[in-house]
Structure 1
């Protein structure tokens, strides 16, 4: 499909630079079949059905953005995928100054040797020393805010909490699973009281999620792989929910992509551990989920293609037009939508 079909005009002032406070006060656009309605996230217990199950991503964002020097040159690195105990794949700023074997000094006793350069322009970085890489990043790294926020304000102390979900327990992501940012312990308790269950899986979100689609046709786009895991007990639980006639609703496109990667053509969700590079565009048949809660996405992005696959491209264009005209806030710190085909 032509990428132009997924374009739309978004005013700059629609991009949220801070999250709603409290988190569940964010607005929620509900697309339920052919019906569209405006709500807030805190109303979810009344908007879902008894027996529904929400699936959250429990990945935790690491301080994956580094600023360093190679001689007199300033070098920036954004880690995006772990390849070994001390090796990360990274997108590098000022990459033309970097050669394989160069040692980049990131300050605070943190350095890394540049390895091979990938087809996507990223470098392998091998961190020096014996300390765990997580310890090094905690010392020298900073929270990797999305470029559409970082370009308009600096990262600050608030982001350390604002950019983590309440489920964040497994470090490894370089971007937050942002739909889950809207949830609070009180909301989860209210959902449980309404008979709505929840489960978790892990997908370590990579920086590739922010990369623009640079080709003209979706067939030519290559997704970056991300590591994920669904254990057997969780897979069995999701299958049981669907078998009794209830709905599995992914909270975030990361949860959805991992569930779909773990689901066979027979509709059975199986335990999964490894990389996924699934690319969902209109025409895709969803096998493992009955709905999705997600934030509002960039024009021409793989994520807008995904929601168009779920609800229909024209339906989503109309919904986004309504959201823009109604003052919904977009992107990582923005409002949410609930998509129920």
Structure 2
């Protein structure tokens, strides 16, 4: 009796510890399910297959064959789809652009820069600005005392912009040399080099997509002009730089829309995924998302023509389709094990 009591006392903590672990595991399982909130038919089938594992081997083989032929589908609640950023669009007709790549750099237009000089020779009696300071048109940069009249007159900014350089200091004599350099970076030119091989396809007015360090900018070719002594011409593009995202001298690339082709059905390239060895998009039907194999045609890097597999009006996943792909692949792998 004492031995039994002793055994009970020794084993009770272990049993309690085991129960605690089981409880934590059960708690963790519920937490995981609540966090995921993305289920698929393959998951449900794998779960059912696990419960049927005790049946005969022949029955298991049949279940396995049935699973292999099952149509993959992910079921995602609307709230969860919005939370993880899954975005859909309707398939429709559109355009495919034939692009010609060009390269160049950003320069300041002549009317956006100024060299400021004194009107009359004399002594600089006062400097009001510093390098890097933004000034308005007509703002007084310095005061100069004329040698002839001995009267002091203001030296004003001819344009609005930033004081880029200062070439003199207070108390110095000036006799017509440049005292300040001002630049206005709110508008820049992209000068793109066009070589003879593609010159026939490039003309003023064509749409162009500028790709620079700070992003993409859509504009048009303003005009074509020669480059003195060079085996190319410049395609000049005016860029609005009021936000300051571009910098003078910045190297850039561009894609010119040399041809715009109308096609019956296009999709956003962000939607394309490879699944089960095929190019697919994920088609939405309510809260269900199924991979659909598509036959693709021409592409311009942003949009791709669809020849077969998708119909106009069908809603397909544009953003974060990789999340659905990953979930289906994970479910399939779990089923195989």
Q: With the length of structure 2 as denominator, give the TM-score of the two structures.
A: 0.18
TM-score of the pair, normalised by structure 1: 0.18
Larger proportion of strand:
2
Which is higher, the Rg of structure 1 or of structure 2?
2
